[in-house]
Amino acid sequence: MSGVPARASPAVQAEALYLINLLLVPGLAFLLLLLLFRRHRNSTDPLVRGHVRQTVAASLLAGLLLAGGPALMVLTGDLSRPGVWIGLVLYFVCCHGTLVLLGVFGLARALAGKPAAYPLLERYA
pTM for the whole structure: 0.88
Amino acid at 1: M
What tens digit of pLDDT does each residue of 33-72 get?
999 999 998 999 999 999 999 999 999 999 999 999 999 9
pLDDT of residue 123: 65
Greater confidence (117 vs 9) lies with 9
